[in-house]
Amino acid sequence: MEFMSFVADGLLMGFVYGVAAIGMSLIWGVMRVINLSHNVLIVSGMFGVYLLFNNLAMNPYLAIILMGIVGLLMGILIYAIALHRVINAPQLSTLLATFSVSMIMTGLATAAWTTSPHNVEFSLGSISFGPVTFPITRLVAALVAVLAAGGLFLFLYRTRLGRYIRAVTNNRAAAEMVGVPSNQILALSFGLGAMIAAISGGLIATFFPFNVLSGMNYQLKSFVVCVLGGLGNPLGALVGGLVLGTLEGVIPVFMETSWVPVFEFGLFVLIIIFRPSGLFGAKE
């Protein structure tokens, strides 16, 4: 029965991993940019929820919504400042641009809050389904992650701006020929990816301690999830998150927790070697 509790806990965490990876996958799929500022966007969601909860006594889930909006604006700003002029340059240029943003923002955050751990002291108790018991915050986080992913898919497939994003993704030059403002659409796409990353950071803050460097760990997990599900495939990223979360839940039942990263990155290497397109196929 303890095994089932670990599996359920891992699955719930997998939804959060999946939605974090969706932001990275979306940005890669639309503009072929590996976003190395993904970690600071996740951290911004963590600290935003922490500050709003501690200083204004705001409900963390309302704070997460606000941080999603802030993440959207941050992403658009990062694109305008760091990526707009190098978006058509070789991929190394965009890689270095987002890496520079990450280093600058991490430095500023470290100066403001040091690397001391912080925690959002918030609990909704626990809930049991038969022999399986887990914190309600995990269940709510999984639900919010599913809603965020579903909202993104509805936006992409049911709105005009979503159609513009898919048009630019498929053929940017052809989209421009029929009047789609590609630069604005790329900025919006980066903003949406940043928004999803900030939301995932806010969700993680409701049940795990964090510091200004915590985002790097979740950025690495997002890489693994993206490769596992298929680069540029948001649905694959969500399923990949569930696989990774389940793996993290099951491994500690049989061995020390310190073995978890070994298996995660071992899986990462195996996928790259034997199925580089991922479980659901990379975006062509």
For 86-141, the pLDDT digits (tens) are 998 888 899 999 999 999 999 999 998 989 999 998 888 888 777 777 788 888 99
Instruction: Report how far residue 71's alpha carbon sits from residue 199's, in angstroms, rounded to the nearest whole number.
Output: 8
Q: By mean pLDDT, which of 85-94, 156-165, 249-258 is the weakest?
A: 249-258
Confidence tier at 264 by pLDDT (50, 70, 90): confident
Neighbours of 127 (CB within 10 A): 12
Instruction: Report how far residue 98's alpha carbon sits from residue 35's, in angstroms, rounded to the nearest whole number.
Output: 6
Please tell me the predicted confidence (pLDDT) of residue 132: 73
Q: How is residue 257 annotated by DSSP?
A: G
Tokens 């701006």 — which residue? Answer: 161
Q: How far is CA 115 from CA 45, 90, 111, in A?
A: 16, 34, 9
Please tell me the predicted confidence (pLDDT) of residue 2: 64
Please tell me the predicted confidence (pLDDT) of residue 211: 94
Closest CA to 43 of 222, 221, 212, 223: 212
Please tell me the predicted confidence (pLDDT) of residue 252: 82
- Are 241 and 21 spatial neighbours (Cβ–Cβ below 8 Å)? yes
123 Cβ neighbours under 8 A, 6+ residues apart: 135, 137
Instruction: Report how far residue 46's alpha carbon sits from residue 199's, in angstroms, rounded to the nearest whole number.
Output: 8
| 4-31 pLDDT tens trace | 777 877 888 889 999 999 999 899 889 8
Annotated domain spans of the chain:
2-120+136-220
Beta partners for 132?
129
Q: How far is CA 11 from CA 14, 71, 250, 267, in A?
A: 5, 26, 10, 17
Work out the mean pLDDT of the chain and round it to a whole number: 88
Please tell me the predicted confidence (pLDDT) of residue 254: 81
Neighbours of 112 (CB within 10 A): 9
Return the beta strands (E) in 98-147 as ranges: 126-129, 132-135
Please tell me the predicted confidence (pLDDT) of residue 191: 96
Please tell me the predicted confidence (pLDDT) of residue 224: 87
Q: How far is CA 124 from CA 49, 129, 138, 227, in A?
A: 16, 16, 10, 34
Q: The tokens of 238 are what?
A: 């969500």
pLDDT value at 184 more than 60: yes
Confidence tier at 77 by pLDDT (50, 70, 90): very high
pLDDT value at 284 more than 70: no
Please tell me the predicted confidence (pLDDT) of residue 226: 87
Please tell me the predicted confidence (pLDDT) of residue 279: 67
pLDDT value at 275 more than 90: no
Please tell me the predicted confidence (pLDDT) of residue 281: 58
Tokens 């002291």 — which residue? Answer: 121
Q: How is residue 210 annotated by DSSP?
A: B
Percent of the chain with pLDDT over 70: 96
Answer with the residue of higher pLDDT: 5 or 157: 157
Please tell me the predicted confidence (pLDDT) of residue 204: 93
Q: How far is CA 37 from CA 26, 49, 105, 123, 207, in A?
A: 14, 19, 9, 30, 23
Q: The tokens of 160 are what?
A: 């005009």
